[in-house]
């Protein structure tokens, strides 16, 4: 067998894992979910889930991946076998489901990068911006075409292989995006009338919390950290034994949460300052930010930079959604990287077409009371990923605990003081809490 492609440096891995975690989940989904779920209380629940369950699941995935040195299915088989490889299989299926709608929204960001150059979005009138988004989203050729373009870009990177494709893209572009999001957040919080939005975001009102809020926060934690489907298993399988896994998991988690909080400060104050509806749903970032750009010198330039960088952040995430699928097809089905990438990509693109149509021509089609895109997102974020998280933590906590602790400590090279707490969370806390929230949510 050919030697497995590996990340060149620890920094390269941190950036690739952070590049996976930071994406549309932070900048598109988090602000609109916070808006729909009542603001501050959602933020508090989300952060609480991230720091307890999220961090533990991430470390569990890192340990499984690096110990197994294989795709999610193969890693479970290498470590234990039995029925466990099916958990990896669930992750592979989730990869198709998630990327199908993720690529649709990725296409919106590409389209908006192009539109902002033309100045078509220079306005701060909620009606005009809402109508512009509505018109774009209603045009099937446009939306499906950009969905295809985004998918092709993703596949080109994945076909290039891990080190060359993923690591390089993440290393250069993530820091630039971070800087830009901070600049935009500063502009947003200093707008006239921003205070109401800041208060909405940062002041929790627990009287408005329902099980739906808790369930939404849990799903968001999994989605944003790229957990529950084997992305982090796959990335860690490209890792050498020297890397300190707990430290890396903490860094990736903090980076991801930092991005989400700053994205909230970039969108929500502007929502209130300009009189948008915080519960507007998936269009929120796309209708609100152009109003912020319209208030800035060289707004069109900032708009272009923002949407282009967001598209790139989405690409580094999209790559990580399909990489477990591709890795599975290569390792287990003996396909070439090229055939696996383009085959899986074509299927995922087709799966995404209904989501692409779902805010426009098919906006009246609902599944369980939600539009198609929302329903597919819910299936992935609130059912498949938490279920994956339960099984992954049970596996680490009960089935391979000693091996996992050894791996988390890099065979003794990096002693991990909280190993017992981690295993306790994997055994009891995470599976029970996630199962409880899922059951209440259904």
Pairing of strands 370-371, 366-367: antiparallel
Which 3 state secondary structure label does DSSP give 210?
coil
Question: How far is Cα 63 from Cα 69, in angstroms, rounded to an integer?
Answer: 10
345-348, long-range: CB < 8 A, 24+ apart: 345/151, 345/152, 345/154, 345/155, 345/158, 347/96, 348/96, 348/99, 348/100, 348/103, 348/151, 348/322
Residue 310 binds ligand TRP (CB under 6 A)? no
Contact residue for ligand TRP among 224, 237, 341, 410 (CB under 6 A)? 224
Residue list 71-130, contact with ligand TRP (CB under 6 A) = 98
Q: Among 12, 25, 74, 165, which residue sits at the site for ligand TRP (rule: CB under 6 A)?
A: 25
- Stretch touching ligand TRP by CB under 6 A, among 75-83, 138-146, 162-170, 224-232: 224-232
Q: Is 229 in the site for ligand TRP (CB under 6 A)?
A: yes
Q: Which one of 44-52, 219-227, 233-241, 289-297 is the stretch in contact with ligand TRP (CB under 6 A)?
A: 219-227
Q: How far is the CB of 89 from ligand TRP (least distance, A)?
A: 15
Shortest distance (Å) from residue 66 CB to ligand TRP: 18
* CB-nearer residue toward ligand TRP: 25 or 165: 25
Among 103-111, 314-322, 356-364, 389-397, the segment contacting ligand TRP (CB under 6 A): 314-322
C-alpha to C-alpha distance for 136 and 146, rounded to whole angstroms: 11
Task: Work out the number of other CB atoms within 10 angstroms of the CB of residue 346.
Answer: 12
- Beta strand ranges found along 264-379 (DSSP E): 366-367, 370-371
C-beta of 266 vs 321, nearer to ligand TRP:
321
Q: How many residues bind ligand TRP (CB under 6 A)?
A: 16
Residue pair 88/231 in contact by the 8 Å Cβ criterion = no
Residues with Cβ within 8 Å of 207's Cβ and at least 6 positions away in sequence, in order, are none
Contact status: 341 vs ligand TRP (CB under 6 A): no
Q: What is the rounded CA–CA span in Å between residue 432 and residue 390?
A: 8
Angle at alpha carbon of residue 361, lines to 156 and 283, rounded to 5°: 65
b/e for 401-439, b at 16 or more Cβ within 10 A?
beebbbbbbbeeeeebeebeebbebbbebbbebbeebbe
Give the shortest CB-387-to-ligand TRP separation in angstroms. Answer: 12
Closest distance to ligand TRP from the beta carbon of 260 (Å): 8
Question: What is the distance between the alpha carbons of residues 342 and 331, in angstroms, rounded to a whole number?
Answer: 16
382 near ligand TRP, rule: CB under 6 A:
no
Angle between helices 140-159 and 337-357 (to 10 degrees): 160
Minimum Å gap between C-beta 23 and ligand TRP is 3
**Interacting residue with ligand TRP among 7, 13, 26, 216 (CB under 6 A):** 26
Which of helix, strand or coil describes residue 371? strand
CB of 232 to ligand TRP, least distance (A): 8
Phi (first) and psi of residue 62, to 5 degrees: -60, -45
Which one of 23-31, 129-137, 238-246, 288-296 is the stretch in contact with ligand TRP (CB under 6 A)? 23-31
> CB of 277: closest distance to ligand TRP in angstroms?
23
Residue 98 Cβ vs ligand TRP, minimum distance, rounded to whole Å = 5
Closest CB to ligand TRP among 104 and 273? 104
Cβ closest to ligand TRP, residue 68 vs residue 228 = 228
Which residues partner with 371 through β-bridges?
366
> Closest CB to ligand TRP among 194 and 265?
265
Region near ligand TRP per CB under 6 A, out of 19-27, 127-135, 289-297, 403-411 = 19-27
**Binder of ligand TRP out of 215, 231, 237, 348 (CB under 6 A):** 231
Contacts of 158 (CB under 8 A, 6+ apart): 165, 319, 322, 323, 326, 337, 341, 345
Q: Which tokens hold the place of 293?
A: 């750009």
Residue ranges that bind ligand TRP, judged by CB under 6 A: 20-21, 23-26, 98, 223-224, 226, 229, 231, 317, 320-321, 385
């Amino acid at each position: 067998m050919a030697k497995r492609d590996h990340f060149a440096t620890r920094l390269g891995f941190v950036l690739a894992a952070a590049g996976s975690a930071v994406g549309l989940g932070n900048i598109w989904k988090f602000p609109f979910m916070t808006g729909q779920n009542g603001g501050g209380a959602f933020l508090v629940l989300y952060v609480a889930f991230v720091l307890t369950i999220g961090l533990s699941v991430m470390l569990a995935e890192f340990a499984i991946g690096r110990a197994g040195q294989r795709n999610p299915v193969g890693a479970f088989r290498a470590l234990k076998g039995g029925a466990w490889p099916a958990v990896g299989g669930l992750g592979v299926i989730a990869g198709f489901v998630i990327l199908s709608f993720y690529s649709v929204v990725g296409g919106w960001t590409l389209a908006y990068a192009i539109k902002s150059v033309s100045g078509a979005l220079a306005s701060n009138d909620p009606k005009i911006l809402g109508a512009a988004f509505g018109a774009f989203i209603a045009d099937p050729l446009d939306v499906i075409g950009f969905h295809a373009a985004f998918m092709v870009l993703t596949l080109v990177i994945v076909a290039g292989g891990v080190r060359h494709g993923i690591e390089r893209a993440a290393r250069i572009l993530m820091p630039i995006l971070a800087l830009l999001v901070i600049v935009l957040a500063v502009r947003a919080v200093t707008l006239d009338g921003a205070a109401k939005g800041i208060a909405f975001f940062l002041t929790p009102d627990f009287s408005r919390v329902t099980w739906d809020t808790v369930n939404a926060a849990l799903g968001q934690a999994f989605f944003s950290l790229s957990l529950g489907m084997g992305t982090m298993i796959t990335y860690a399988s490209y890792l050498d034994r020297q890397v300190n896994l707990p430290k890396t998991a903490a860094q990736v988690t903090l980076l991801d949460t930092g991005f989400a909080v700053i994205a909230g400060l970039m969108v929500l104050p502007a929502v209130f300052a300009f009189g948008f509806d915080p519960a507007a749903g998936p269009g929120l970032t796309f209708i609100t930010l152009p109003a912020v750009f319209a208030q800035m010198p060289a707004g069109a330039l900032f708009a272009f930079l923002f949407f282009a960088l967001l598209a790139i952040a989405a690409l580094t995430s999209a790559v990580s959604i399909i990489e477990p699928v591709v890795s599975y097809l290569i390792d287990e089905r003996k396909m070439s990287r090229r055939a696996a990438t383009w085959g899986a990509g074509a299927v995922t693109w087709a799966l995404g077409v209904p989501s692409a149509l779902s805010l426009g021509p098919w906006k009246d089609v609902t599944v369980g009371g939600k539009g198609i895109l929302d329903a597919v997102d819910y299936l992935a974020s609130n059912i498949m990923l938490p279920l994956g998280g339960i099984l992954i933590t049970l596996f680490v906590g009960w089935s391979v605990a000693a091996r996992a602790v050894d791996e988390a400590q890099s065979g003794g090279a990096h002693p991990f003081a909280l190993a017992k707490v981690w295993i306790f969370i994997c055994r009891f806390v995470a599976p029970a809490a996630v199962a409880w929230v899922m059951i209440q949510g259904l």
